Structure 1
Amino acid sequence: MSTKIRKSILQSSIVVSVATMLSRVLGLTRDIVFATLFGSGGAHDAFLIAFKVPNFLRRLFAEGAFNQAFIPVLSEYRHAEGDDSVRKLVSAVQIYLGAVVGVITLVAVIGSPVLAWLFASGFHDDGAKLELVADFLRLTFPYLWFISMTALASSVLNSYQRFAAPALTPIILNLSLIGSALFLSPLFAVPQTGIAMGVLIAGVLQWLFLWPSLLKTGVWSLTEWHWQHPGVKKIQILMLPALFGVSVSQINLLLDTVLASWLPNGSVGWLYYSDRLTELPLGVIGIAIATVLLPRLSALHAESDGDRFEKTLAWAIRVVLLIGLPAMLALVILPEHLLTLLFQNGAFTSEDVHFAAGSLAAYALGLPAFMLIKILAPAFFSRQDTKTPVKIGVQAMVWNMVFNLLLIVPLAHVGLAAATSASAWLNAGLLAWHLHKEQRLPRRALILPSIVRTALASIVMSIVLVMLLQLPWFVMTELLLQRLMVVSVLVFAGLFSYAVALLMVGVRMADLRHPA
């Protein structure tokens, strides 16, 4: 691999991070629009469940398991046989994936009442609400087919170091949902019908958006079809266990939603909005680095370069914790301030803020673990080891259900969020332990000093924020401008104190540079 490519991972991560940041900002705007227009509870709870089911399958099947199984196989064939073999592989996978997901989508649309009964079991006593879930599923589920094709296209582009276009596709979803909420929803008796249609529109547009970039790679064609390729079977074998391996946190979040349907009206929405804020740092840093990390680790494994494999993984761990630890503490300290500024308007009340703040703080406790899972799992998948992560994932999922049952009664929806965070830490810890046993976990000298410095700086930032919150000036009011000023000062103070503390404990920008 050329020196230019070897040194490009940090730049690629920045490109993906910037694109992801823009997408997350628009996603936040989308959620503000949703909160203002629809609030929580009622029909909006029904829509959130109908949106979460295909969205969960997208992350689990299209982006999670498929991505982790496909990219290492593609890298292997590209390294061994060149682009001609890759072209045949991509064509065969496209046919296979399209057919399988097409059948799943058709069955789901026809059986939407059954899916509603399964995933919104707490609505059984409210027939109208349960029927709404089924109606929304018929509109949102076809999104799975288009986003699966988009995931295939994104995996190909990422493998060819073309990260920008795939990173921009979520922007289309957010723009479509914002536009649908503002312009389509008022046309329907149940306004959420408009945004359900917006989900389907977004899927079509995302897929079409990647076509020009795909054609430039030379390994994708609209007219050239190859029905068979030995790599397809290999992907199938790797993909089955990967369904659990990297996506356990998503399974846990879906289970939270199912259980939340049994809790008081609005619980689904409170979990949704708190999860969305937690996803902001996770998406911008954790997922962005993981996106460029898997192709890089896969290539290094194909080249049998164990030293750079270790250093690359160590670099990724240092960077995600540099962001994850302070983000966790900030979200735990400032949940009500952030939720009040962003969502308390229109249909989203101060009571909603109060209840959502608890689950936001609970989710935030697991944020570094969510990030580490995104980094540690590719260390297995890049070596085509999907069995170890799936064993760990199943253990974490079982423990999540145990934690749910223990915490849901005393803490309600907050207990569900806390259980998800606890199982995420268990998942990350077991991944690290198995990498250590296989002598694949980076040496302590590569990661421990950075973790200690990051933890110290994060504690300093937390002390500063807690002290500021004791001052009367930082009490939130009904005035939007005053809310904005309060949160802006708190965020600036947190960032500034963290940056100064990092410098004091010896962290420098050079520490973020990826090893050549």
Structure 2
Amino acid sequence: MLKSTALVALLTLLSRVLGFVRDAVIATYLGAGEATDAFFIAFRIPNFLRRLFAEGSFSQAFVPTLTHHKDGASAPALRAFLDRTAGALSVVAVGATAAGVVAAPALVLLFAPGFWRDAHLFGLSTEMVRITLPYLALITLTAFGASILNTYGHFAIPAITPALLNVTMIAAVIGFARRLDQPIYALGWSVTVAGILQLLLQLPALRANGLLPRPRWGFNDPEVRRMLKQIGPTVLSTSVTQINVLLNTLIGSFLVSGSVSWLYYSDRLVEFPVGLLGVAIGTVMLPHLARSQAADDSRAFSESLDWALRVVLLAALPATVGLVLCAKPLLFSLFQYDQFGMDDVEMTSRSLATYALGITGFIAARVLLSGFTARHDFRTPFRFGVTAIGLNLLASSLLAYAAAPLGWGHAALGLGTSLAGLTNSGLLLVALIRSGIYRPPAGWGLLLVRTAVACGVMGALLAYLNPEPEAWHDWRAAERLTHLGLMITAGLIAYLACLWGLGLRSRHLQLHPVA
């Protein structure tokens, strides 16, 4: 499982790096203003669905069911299940896309009600929604194919698929943005084109393994109906963070101009460690947990969860420290060119720091959720998800109202989301322990101390190596990236060396395979 996780992490890393290149290109060519606010509001919807389906809820509901058919059903029965699932998903996805195109103004009003005050901004956002919404149907079918491949142990193609979105958007901005009267349209159309390419990428691998579905009407199949019903609560429980980010966008639309863009860039940076680790571990671990559950091996089930949580702790805490202390260096190095000014760096760094505080909770929740869905328990995480979303809405609204006069309104939204993420993961962890599903072994206290000390050493070094913002502003791109790279490398070496000096060894992270 470690090798598969490393492969998925490496390919996800490539996609995330390309995502930063994409955002740097957007910031350089388009800056942060009315047009980008309109696009980011529109892009939130299909991008939210990408995270939902490609990295979350669909696989949580589908993979355990497919694993059951794979291990216990005949080949014709398995084929019929895949065909009917493909047919049902196609109908749902196309219908939802068509409804969304018709209701585009209502969607903009829902996700950015503050835009109603500006007729031009509201109209542009509505057009962007209609252009990007076909991605909904495309990513749904792409996620279906990717989940099939993951269940059968083929992780590479699904893991590289998100990179196509970034490559397509980069090419569109560089190649077409400055040739159009309204450059933002290049971004809008690139999203739909990317969805087509991502779906096409799955087909050869599915065909080569004899797994390519032939869509059939599937709503009369009890298994398909049951799985589709499970997707509903799983969408909410899997996507607490994404829903909270959308709520922040809604509230942010009432704040000063640029708030939506500052929140977007902050979310993008936080999503780097969250997506890299959460997706890699979750993608590989869910089929493993499903097999443990099918084999009625509770010990292997608990050990898998424990291994994943230890990896989360060792990676998430230093990521939090690094993002908080390196917020401005990252923003200067990646985005502060041409249209993205010093004020944008300052404001984005505030929301980045508050978002980063929730990284451990965001990642841990993805891992812990698999402990429920692999056992077909969708109600428990659903209840906790509703609680976390309600907490975020209340905390973010109150904090933003109080902090807005100080220029920290958008940053307060990030703090509310972090508190909700930590609460959600805490509730999931306590429930798994109380039910006896997860039995933490000895050694957690020592691991926490080692990690905290190593993070402290790393943080002190990063603070020492970080010059004043004026220096970052005066440096050219190569100098910024070089110094940022040296800071990250030095911090990582210090962290790992400290862990080694405190006695942490690879054997402490070993996982025994399922018998």
| Fold similarity call, TM over 0.5 | yes
CA–CA distance in structure 2, aligned partners of residues 371 and 246 of structure 1: 11
Cα distance in 2, alignment partners of residues 449 and 235 from structure 1: 41
Is 2:119 the partner of 1:100? no
Aligned twin of 1:187: 179
Query: Displacement of 1:405 after TM fit?
Result: 1.6
CA contact under 8 A between 2:87 and 2:215: conserved in structure 1? no
Q: Distance in 1 between matches of 2:467 and 2:130?
A: 50
- 2:341 partner amino acid: T
1:201 aligns with 2:193: yes
In structure 2, the partner of 1:507 is: 504
What SS does the corresponding residue of 1:442 show, helix, strand or coil? coil
* 1:231-310 → structure 2 map (5 Å cutoff): 231-310=223-302
> Corresponding residue for 1:6?
none
Contact kept? 2:53, 2:139, Cα under 8 Å: no
Corresponding residue for residue 66 of structure 1: 58
Aligned pairs (5 A) from 1:470-481: 477-481=474-478
Deviations 1:168-203 (A, max 9, x none): 101110110001111122332211111110000000
Per the alignment, residue 121 of structure 1 pairs with 113
For residue 378 of structure 1, what is the aligned residue in structure 2?
Answer: 370
Q: Which residue number corresponds to residue 409 of structure 2?
A: 412
Contact 1:274 1:363 in 2 (8 A): yes
Tell me how far apart the structure 1 counterparts of residues 120 and 469 of structure 2 sit (CA, whole Å). 46
Q: Does 1:311 align with 2:290?
A: no
TM-score scaled to structure 2, two decimals?
0.95
Map of 1:360 onto structure 2: 352
Question: 1:62–1:287: structure 2 CA closer, same or farther, 3 Å change rule?
Answer: closer
In 1: Cα distance, 2:215 partner to 2:417 partner: 45
Q: What is the alpha-carbon distance in structure 1 between the residues aligned to residue 468 and residue 53 of structure 2?
A: 48
Cα distance between partner residues in 2 of 1:146 and 1:16: 22
For the 8 Å contact 2:86–2:216, the answer to whether it is kept is: no
Please state whether the residue corresponding to 2:228 is helix, strand or coil: helix
- In structure 1, what is the Cα distance between the partners aligned to 2:302 and 2:384? 21
- Which residue, 309, 316, 329 being the options, matches 1:324? 316
2:130 to 125, 138, 150: 138
Aligned AA for 2:494? S
Pick from 3, 8, 24 the counterpart of residue 11 of structure 1: 3
Task: Report the number of matched residues.
Answer: 508
- Give the distance between the partners of 2:317 and 2:113, measured in 1 at CA: 36
Alpha-carbon distance, 1:221 to partner: 3.7
Q: Does 1:88 align with 2:85?
A: no
List runs of 5+ in structure 2 lacking aligned partners.
none
* Distance in 1 between residues matched to 2:246 and 2:433, nearest whole Å: 30
Residue range with higher mean Cα deviation, 423-432 or 278-287: 278-287
Which residue of structure 2 aligns with residue 443 of structure 1? 440
Q: Secondary structure at the match of 1:445?
A: coil
Residue 222 (structure 1) shift? 4.1
Matched letter for residue 120 of structure 1: A
Q: Secondary structure at the match of 2:33?
A: coil
For the 8 Å contact 2:322–2:459, the answer to whether it is kept is: yes
CA distance in 1, matches of 2:8, 2:192: 25
Residue identity opposite 2:118 in structure 1: D
Seen in structure 2, the aligned counterparts of structure 1 residues 19 and 82 have a Cα distance that, compared at 3 Å, is farther
Q: Which moved more, 1:66-75 or 1:386-395?
A: 66-75
Q: Which residue of 2 aligns with 1:220?
A: 212
Cα distance in 2, alignment partners of residues 227 and 428 from structure 1: 34
Alignment of 1:427 with 2:424, yes or no, is: yes
Distance between the aligned counterparts of 1:57 and 1:267, measured in 2?
Answer: 22
One-letter amino acid matched to 1:463: A
CA distance in 2, matches of 1:228, 1:445: 49
Contact 1:404–1:419 under 8 Å retained in 2: yes
Q: 1:62 to 1:228 in 2, by over 3 A?
A: farther
Unaligned runs of 5+ in 1: 1-8
Residue 439 of structure 2 aligns with an amino acid whose one-letter code is: P
Superposed CA deviations along residues 24-72 of structure 1, whole A, max 9, x for unmatched, are 1111100000010111121110000001012213333565322111111
- Distance (whole Å) between structure 2 residues aligned to residue 442 and residue 388 of structure 1: 18
Structure 1-normalised TM-score? 0.95
Residue 233 of structure 2 contacts residue 378 of structure 2 at CA under 8 Å; is this kept in 1?
yes
Alpha-carbon distance between aligned partners in 2 of 1:396 and 1:148, rounded to the nearest angstrom: 26
Q: What amino acid is aligned across from residue 249 of structure 1 in structure 2?
A: T
Shift of 1:228: 4.5
